[in-house]
Chain A
Amino acid sequence: MDDSRPIFVQIAELIENDIIAGALPEETQVPSTNEFAAFHRINPATAGKGVNVLVDDGILYKKRGIGMFVASGARKRLVAKRRDQFQNEFVAPLIIEAEKLGIGEAQLIDMIRKEGTA
């Protein structure tokens, strides 16, 4: 809850991270809105909004009277979505910064390789 983006977006992202990391496996129950709110010290309505984003995306689904569950195939879909974002959010700024510093394409690839083997 630290950047300029809306809190509910950040909450949705935290839950997504837990699903991608396997901390919330598919077809298991996720904490309730009130538990999220108490844990992150945020308004329950905001936490609910974050959860609803994921319900709308089909990542979570509601079992009436029981709670929220992680949908089957949620992890795979999230990873695919994040890969698309990776291009825009990490690769593009990397190239802009490299150009600013006069790092050429070959040199940049070299640096990535070195980092990968380290």
Chain B
Amino acid sequence: MSAVVEASHLTRRFGDTTAVDDVSFSVQKNTIHGLLGRNGAGKTTLMQLLTGQDFATRGDIRIFGEHPVENSGVLKNVCFIKESQRYPDDFKPRHVFTSAPWFFPNWDAEFADRLIADFRLPLNRRIKKLSRGQLSAIGVIVGLASRAPLTFFDEPYLGLDAVARQIFYDRLLEDFGENPRTVILSTHLIDEVSNLLEHVLVIDEGKLLVDQDAETLRGSATTVVGTRQGVDAFVADRDVLHRDGIGGLASVTVGRLTPQDRARATEMGLELSPVSLQQLVVRLTGSNQTETVLEQSA
């Protein structure tokens, strides 16, 4: 496997705000990556840097082994679907789909037509008159039908209803199976996408917090529930990610447990429950209580 994206010590400052702070990672070919983080964490800035739409203050970027900025050889293989995509005032969806093949050599018009029908997108209405969800559908269709070897979806489904989101996930998986490519998906609906992801990047306040495969991350935290005494005894020498309590009961989220740990917890009468990716990201990026970060080797 080879790296499609390589970022090293990437930093982007705006005045005295550091939007992206010394971020290094690489993205392997033909994987679906999740780029997760809170509002203003630096996700969009990072994607703008990677797609050559913004300039790094420091650090180096390689996309398909080359610099992306003003590099048409690289950029024709990259599709960036932005949440806030703007179109010319009198544009209609059909104009978007007619012009898309000019930019994307792998454009599949038949696939686009199928998606237009799936999303029930009116082709001849002015884009200004479309609903927020329909506007998002245009982006999703372009992102899928472009079949770009490297596709970025930045929060692609603002306003999309649950049915439309499910169509997006299903078509993405189907088409990914037939036409493997590299997808980087930034979203706040983590629970919905967690099973689609092969690798997860979590960014907070410009810093890369997690860079790990999704499978490893899944089992990397557990919530222990029981009497305060029992829970305290069990978590005494562990890193605590989060702590909740009510009366004599405590609920504490800790890192990875070994089978022996689990057996001990059961013996002590404590309940263990898995922590979903969404909960984990909330715990990691949530508040200042979160002093300890999961060790990367976990």
Contact = CB atoms under 8 A, between A and B. Distances in A.
Given A41-B196, A42-B196, A43-B32, A4 B219 contact: yes
B274 A38 contact: no
A3 interface: yes
Interface in A6-31: 6-8
Contacts of A34: 174, 177-178
Given A4-B219, A4-B222, A34-B177, A43 B169 contact: no
Interface string B163-203: 00000011001101110000000000000000111100000
Interface residues of A, number: 19
A108 interface: no
A46 B198 contact: yes
Name, among B31, B169, B176, B222, the residue most crowded by chain A CB atoms within 10 Å (CB to CB).
B176
B195 A6 contact: no
Contacts of B207: none
Chain B interface size band reads: 20 to 34
B219 A41 contact: no
B215 A44 contact: no
Contacts of A43: 32, 173, 195-198, 214
A7 B31 contact: no
Given A43-B214, A45-B31, A45-B198, A3 B274 contact: yes
A37 interface: yes
User: What is the interface of chain A mostly: helix, strand, loop, or mixed?
Assistant: helix
Contacts of B169: 41
Name, among A7, A42, A43, the residue most crowded by chain B CB atoms within 10 Å (CB to CB).
A43
A90 to B, nearest CB: 15
A38 B195 contact: no
Contact of A38 (B31, B170, B218, B272): B170
Given A3-B274, A4-B274, A34-B178, A41 B195 contact: yes
Contacts of B222: 4
A64 B219 CA distance: 34
A50 to B, nearest CB: 11
A43 B169 CA distance: 10
A6 B173 contact: no
A45 B195 CA distance: 11
Contacts of A40: 195
Interface string A44-67: 111001000000000000000000
Given A38-B177, A44-B173, A6 B219 contact: yes
21 contacts: A4-B218, A4-B272, A4-B273, A4-B274, A5-B219, A6-B219, A7-B195, A7-B218, A37-B177, A41-B170, A41-B196, A42-B173, A42-B195, A43-B32, A43-B173, A43-B196, A43-B214, A44-B177, A45-B198, A46-B198, A49-B215
Interface of A: 1, 3-8, 33-34, 37-38, 40-46, 49
Given A42-B173, A43-B195, 10 more contacts: A4-B218, A4-B219, A6-B215, A6-B218, A37-B177, A41-B169, A42-B195, A43-B173, A43-B196, A43-B197
